[in-house]
Chains A and B, each alone.
Chain A
Amino acid sequence: GNSVTQMEGPVTLSEEAFLTINCTYTATGYPSLFWYVQYPGEGLQLLLKATKADDKGSNKGFEATYRKETTSFHLEKGSVQVSDSAVYFCALQGAQKLVFGQGTRLTINP
């Protein structure tokens, strides 16, 4: 079945550092890929998505590229801010339902 594996956390960085959170997937067919973010005390929000191979999703300075050859969708940001502290979830959508990774807690220190 479909599955998502995320880089284990927690991850702690200093402000303005470069961020990478790794995500790989196993799926039949050609799923859509997503990154969701959960800020403290808030619900899940879509951060970015990509629907086909080589697509790049981007939002709020975050980027991820759909890599079919390596079955990966790594999240990157060039310069993180304290306000980026949250839990990040990689997910795929094959048919209707979303399949999530276990989440990576990110803490950014000033």
Chain B
Amino acid sequence: GAGVSQSPRYKVAKRGQDVALRCDPISGHVSLFWYQQALGQGPEFLTYFQNEAQLDKSGLPSDRFFAERPEGSVSTLKIQRTQQEDSAVYLCASSSSSGTQQFFGPGTRLTVL
């Protein structure tokens, strides 16, 4: 497709379940970012990939959060043993190279009950 796509768009999980969120960046974009947006707040950085290398994971809130991009294209954000405070919209963005405009996907809204 022409833009960044994310799936699923909505996910409801019971507390303690594991979830996996997928991001398909714009074709050819080398940089990929994950952000977390809590209700009524601005997005907050989670992690950043350049191709398959995870160059910055300083924003991951705990070791329950894990992201990968094994072939330098599609990325998956995994959250283990979900907690209620993980409820948020998870945004993925991609850019053609470092420091250029980031294009955002529609987000995945995660609700943990």
Contact = CB atoms under 8 A, between A and B. Distances in A.
* Interface size of B as a range: 20 to 34
A98 B45 contact: yes
A97 B93 CA distance: 10
Contact of B104 (A4, A6, A45, A101): A45
Contacts of B48: 96-97
Contacts of A100: 42-44
A103 B55 contact: no
B31 A42 contact: no
Contacts of B43: 44, 89, 98, 100
Contact of A103 (B41, B56, B103): B41
A67 B59 CA distance: 28
A93 interface: yes
B62 interface: no
A68 B40 CA distance: 28
Given A44-B91, A103-B40, A97 B45 contact: yes
* Interface size of A as a range: 20 to 34
A32 B101 CA distance: 10
A102 B42 contact: yes
A7 interface: no
Interface string B81-103: 00000000001010000110111
Nearest to A9: B40
Contacts of A101: 42
Nearest to A91: B42
Contacts of B93: 44, 98
A97 B59 contact: yes
B25 interface: no
18 contacts: A4-B42, A36-B104, A43-B106, A44-B91, A44-B93, A44-B104, A89-B42, A89-B43, A93-B99, A95-B56, A96-B48, A96-B56, A97-B33, A98-B33, A98-B43, A98-B45, A99-B45, A102-B42
Closest 10 CB pairs of A and B: A100-B42, A44-B104, A97-B45, A43-B106, A43-B104, A102-B42, A100-B43, A103-B42, A89-B42, A96-B48
